[in-house]
A = this chain, B = another copy of it.
């Protein structure tokens, strides 16, 4: 039985004013249904595992909201970080806790805030990755690129080894400049790194011990105390000492160089819900191309002679638009945002400006 780990962190500043530090994007129903991104992530796992095998790693500020949204996940599977230490500490803690239960378990790590259009295709891809993990490989799921995206990291792959869809990952590539991204797109050998990982926990922890011995020792100590009266003491003492580093940089890049990483290319309508524009591309639109998030809300929207909008009415007020196109309009109880879709990436500038103005309550 697969263990699924869901790191639920990050605030999503490009989704401001909907996403806030206190209520980050994974808690919001950005899925075209009433399910939050986090709930949709759990729902997608149904064919692969049971709620008892799902672990969520989240911040102290969001533990209660996560627990309420995921009523089926046992309390002891909600791992609460005392402070953010980036993805390696979060994923390694989960791996070490799972290893306490089942030392040779296969675990997958799946972000809490991504959208996937074709859940069946995703399940098949993960199953192929599990088969690679069972053979001792550190598996990733690579997304077949559909454009020369400069906002993602890439996986550079070698020749397929002949057994199924697996390909070796020769190198992790940072976010590229535009000409490099164009070259990646043409190469046919580069995949988007969606930060989905599948591995045996013993294999991952051994690689962690090799490359990040301090981090390995720390999470091992915490995991050993997990569920005992010492848990909080050990967590409070050890956690703040762990290196703040991403799992890609801390483990996967070195493991790829050592030939221990492979990938399964996936093509299932993946979207990282990074901003309102890309969100609008993936959710169902009306005949004029307008996407309204939360169509059930009253009084909702009144769109007259509008096209290709992304409208987020989340304040209970009417959002009326007349004669505009390609705009984002987000309405929340204390802030409203208007911005062209092609400037969606820059929304974080507003968040920075608010911090400078001392308006932390709006961030």
Which of B304, B329, B337 is the one whose CB lies under 8 Å from A353?
B304
A319 touches B339 (CB 8 A): no
Which of B317, B324, B347, B353 is the one whose CB lies under 8 Å from A336?
B317
A→B interface (CB under 8 Å): 17, 299, 302, 304-305, 317-324, 327, 329, 331-340, 343, 346-347, 349-350, 353-354, 357, 359, 362
Q: What residues of chain B lie closer than 8 Å to A332, measured between beta carbons?
A: 317
Measured CB to CB, the nearest residue on chain B to A338 is B321
CA distance A346 to B324 in the complex (A): 12
CA distance A350 to B319 in the complex (A): 11
Determine which residue in A305, A320, A340, A350 has the highest number of CB atoms from chain B within 10 A of its CB, and name it: A320
In the A-B complex, the 9 residue pairs with the closest CB atoms: A323-B343, A318-B335, A322-B339, A321-B338, A320-B337, A317-B334, A320-B350, A323-B340, A336-B336
Q: A318-B334, A322-B346, A323-B346 are in contact. List 11 more A-B contacts (CB 8 A).
A: A302-B353, A304-B346, A304-B349, A317-B335, A319-B335, A320-B335, A322-B337, A322-B338, A322-B340, A322-B343, A323-B340
Copies in the assembly, this chain = 2
CA distance A337 to B336 in the complex (A): 11
A333 touches B353 (CB 8 A): no
A319 touches B343 (CB 8 A): no
